[in-house]
Amino acid sequence: MTQELHRGVLSAKIKERARSLGFDLVGIVRARALESERERLQEWLGRGFQGEMRWMEREPAKRTDPRLLLPSARSVVVVAINYYTPHEHTNDPTKGKISRYSWGDDYHDIVGDKLKSLLAWIKEEWPEAEGKACVDIQPMMDKAWAVRAGLGWIGKHSNLITREYGSWVFLGELILNLELEYDDERVEDHCGSCTLCLEACPTNAIAESYVVDSNKCISYATIELRAPRLPEEMRGNLNGWLYGCDICQDVCPWNRFEQPTTETRFEPRPENVNASLSDILELTPEAYSERFRRSAIKRAKLSGLQRNARALIEEETE
C-alpha cells in the first residue's frame, strides 16, 4: 500500500469512527499556524472587543498554532455535533430565557468524552499515535478550524453556520501526530446580502458584519461579565434573557435547516429553557450547585445569575 493510499484509508476509518460516536460533521486538515486568523484576532483584541475576557489576550501564538499545544502535531480532526432540540422560550415576564446551548448537560463533557473515546480508539488501532482533545477550554480557534476543515462558514453574527444543521452545532478538535489525508475544499460564505442578525440585535453588539463587540453583547454580559451590576446600556434591552442570548441565531435563515439532535443529553433539564426568576433569587449556594451540576450554566456563577434575575425584574417594573 502506498503512503498516500495508507493516509486515505486511515483518514476514512477515523471519520467513520467519529460519526459512530455521534459527531455529525468531520473534517481533517494539516496542523499549521493560522496566520490570517491570528492577524484578525489581534485586530479584534486591539479594538477592545474582548471586554473583560482577559484570557483571550494570553498567548495568541498558542491560540493559533496547534503545534504549540502538541509539538508532534501533524493533523487536526475537526468535529461538529448538532445540539438543536425542538423546545421554545416563553415570553412570561416572571421567567428568564436561557440560551439553547446550555439547556442540557455541559457540552464540554459530552464533546470531550466523545473526543477522548475517539483518541483511545485511534491509539488502540495505531499505537504510535499521540493526540490532544480540545473543546473550547483549550486555546484553539474552534470556528476557524471548522472553516478550514470545510464544515461551514462564519456568519455575519460570527457563529459557524453549516448547510446541514444551521448554527446549532458544538465544535471540537483532536490534534494528532499522524499524517492524514486532508480536506482542502472550503464552504462558500452563503450569507449574501442578508443582515437580519445585525438588525435583530437589541444592543447593536454586531459592530459590523462578522465582528461582535462583546462589551455590547447580551450573552457576554449575562455569562462572562463579573460586574455586580449590568451596564446601564444593557439594562432595558435584555429582552428577557437570563443566561446567554440566541437572537442572532433565531433570526438566521440558515437555521430553517435545524433538525433534532440524536444526542439525548442535549435535551433540556427541568426549568433550563425558561427559569423562574423568583426561584433563581431564592437559590442558596448549595441548591445552586446541585441544580446546575455538570451544566454549562455554572459559568455565570450564582452571583451572576441572581444579578441577571434582578435586572430582568427591574426591567419589567420600570
- DSSP secondary structure code for residue 166 in this structure: B
User: What SS3 class is residue 257?
Assistant: helix
Cell of 207: 459592530
- DSSP secondary structure code for residue 264 in this structure: G
Rounded to whole angstroms, the Cα distance separating 9 from 5 reads 6
Q: Is 136 a catalytic residue?
A: yes
The number of beta carbons lying within 10 Å of the beta carbon of residue 214 is 19
| Nearest by Cα to 314 from 216, 247, 229 | 229
Which residue in 109, 113, 136, 279 is the catalytic one? 136
Rounded to whole angstroms, the Cα distance separating 211 from 301 reads 27
Rounded to whole angstroms, the Cα distance separating 135 from 244 reads 19
* Residue tagged 433569587 (cell numbers): 281
Residues involved in catalysis: 136
